[in-house]
Amino acid sequence: MGMITGGELVARTLVDLGVTHAFGVHGGHLDPLLTALDRLGVTLVDTRHEAAAGNAAEGYARATGGLGVAFATSGPGFTNAYAALANAFIDRIPVLLLTSSPPLREAELNVLQGGLDQVAAARTVAKWAHRATTAARLPDLVALAVRHATTGVPGPAVLDIPIDVMYRQIDEAVATKPSLTMPTPPAPARAAVRRMVELLRASRRPVFILGGGAALSPGTRPALEALLDRVRFPVVTTSWGHGQLSPGHPCALGGSGALAALPFLAERPDLFVLLGARRGISLGARTGSMIPPGTPVIHVDVDGVEPGRVGEVELSVVADVGETIHALATVADELPGWDAWNAATRAAVGAHAMMFADAPTVTPSGRLHPYHVARELTGALEDDAVVVFDGGETAGWISFFARAHRPRSWFGLGMMGGLGVGQGFAIGAQCARPGAQVVLVTGDGGVGFHLQEFDTMARHQLPVTTVVYNNLSWGMSLHGQQAIYGEKTSVAVELPDTRYDHIAAAMGLHAERVTDLDQVGPALRRARESGRSACLDVTIAPDVIHPMMAPLTADLPDGAIRVPYYEAIPAGEG
């Protein structure tokens, strides 16, 4: 053994843990780490902004179901990455951010980038954050950070390695030897399985709802398919849980919108089984539009705090989703089967089409109807495609047609609602699945946050196709504002008719503007055939309002206060 730097100790440990990609922006503080990662064969994807790098690590984690790694230098590098940490934290995505800071020996001396306690700041948006104080302990600290990020309730971990610790050379013999063994996922208790069986046997119309927790459990899809081979029941997928069943599977009901349609097109469910799906924005929150009050709920989650956060729960199970479904499969002979109910629920599949059956393809504005564009776009996707969505109403339009053929291949905005995450997500997803078609669908508002990442895609030869829903506005903001203040109101919500295709072409991308509906599919195929990063600027009508905005125009009880995006405030509530 010889002398080794702290940065190389970190790099070796990451490689031993199976890391193959890292995303970030260069900073001199990080050079011992970056040069070692490069020498050890790790692919370094240098983005143009640290927020995009953090988003790319999250996109990589979402697409693989494993860990995403990002790096950001001290001070402004860390603060730029902060928004990405918050997004991963709220959506429970396993990300490791490696950052640096001024020398420990120069604390409180007003040195460059030394005025911020990065660890204290990180702890508000990370599961775990720590500053290394000695190079010898870096291997076990890296392994500890990865365990924090990936086990239990997943989320981001931050390891701050001061520059003197990063550059310090030590005798390799004194460095710690990390444990690289990861725990097996938690299985449900036998008593919990027995109670689930009891509740299911008493149910005539159950619905299973799979969310992000199902996506992060590698055993979910095979276990679910095995269970459905023996007993049929309708399955809804929410958040980024799509792809646990093929779109054509006879039990695949679609997204959460189908839950709202069931009482009108079939019957109201009498039992909801939530598997890694958190109640809130994606399941109607407290409105009862999807899960009516009084209907029994079984909630399975790795976090025992989550069941009961919104509404009552009949049974709370703290366990991994795949392990829970596997446990149910072992007692499938005790379940009654719900073939007739499952067949009846098929009426809700694609029910959104009824709302737009008579909608013109081109509106009076002369621009294309967003619903029809989403239909044509998704109809032209390859089966193996990864779809990333970004933007407000844009995400809503494309989500009508969520039809992932494999897990972790359809995702975007989560509960943070942070526009601009899409470019990074798509970069990470393309690195995770190099041969797959990766399509980012974003609004003209969302794409503006990180336009410079077109350059990252081109430099790293990542054939992401970005589809811009160009409706000349921050659409959700415009429509929300007009719903409350009147149709003539438009304050800080309009955008010019920017030619995003021209911007992309200047950065070396294949680029087209699409103004005809019948060209949406062919343009997507041309982008794919180009083998290059691509941008399609689609002219979208600004005057079409997504149904998600309907609550802003619904009648309210006397004295209630209407607010955008959230429940109305009841009269008399303090």
Instruction: Give the largest CA-CA distance in the chain.
Output: 77
The verdict on whether 450 is a catalytic residue reads: no
| Cα dihedral across residues 446, 447, 453, 458: positive or negative | positive
**Active-site residue (options: 65, 417, 508, 521):** 417
Q: What is the dihedral of CA 239, 242, 248, 252, to 10 degrees?
A: -50
Residue found under tokens 């990861």: 182
Closest CA to 392 of 476, 459, 464: 476
Instruction: Kindly give, in sequence order, each residue whose CB lies less than 8 Å from that of residue 486, ignoring residues fewer than 6 positions away.
Output: none
The verdict on whether 50 is a catalytic residue reads: yes
What is the enclosing helix (H) or strand (E) of 324?
helix 321-329
Instruction: Kindly give, in sequence order, each residue whose CB lies less than 8 Å from that of residue 235, ignoring residues fewer than 6 positions away.
Output: 207, 208, 209, 210, 224, 228, 244, 245, 249, 251, 252, 253
Number of residues assigned to the chain: 574
Q: Are 315 and 298 in contact (CB under 8 A)?
A: yes
d(CA 521, CA 540): 15
| Cα dihedral across residues 251, 257, 260, 262: positive or negative | negative
The verdict on whether 417 is a catalytic residue reads: yes
The verdict on whether 510 is a catalytic residue reads: no
Instruction: Kindly give, in sequence order, each residue whose CB lies less than 8 Å from that of residue 440, ignoring residues fewer than 6 positions away.
Output: 388, 389, 390, 422, 423, 425, 426, 464, 465, 466, 467
d(CA 37, CA 372): 46
* Token pair in block for residue 279: 């109640």
Could you tell me where the beta strands, DSSP code E, fall in 404-532?
Answer: 410-412, 438-443, 465-470, 510-514
**Active-site residue (options: 21, 24, 49, 50):** 50
Q: How many CA atoms lie within 13 A of 464 on its CB side?
A: 33
Q: Are 442 and 392 in contact (CB under 8 A)?
A: no
Let me know the angle formed at the C-alpha of 534 by 212 and 547, rounded to the nearest 5 degrees.
50
Catalytic residues: 29, 50, 113, 417
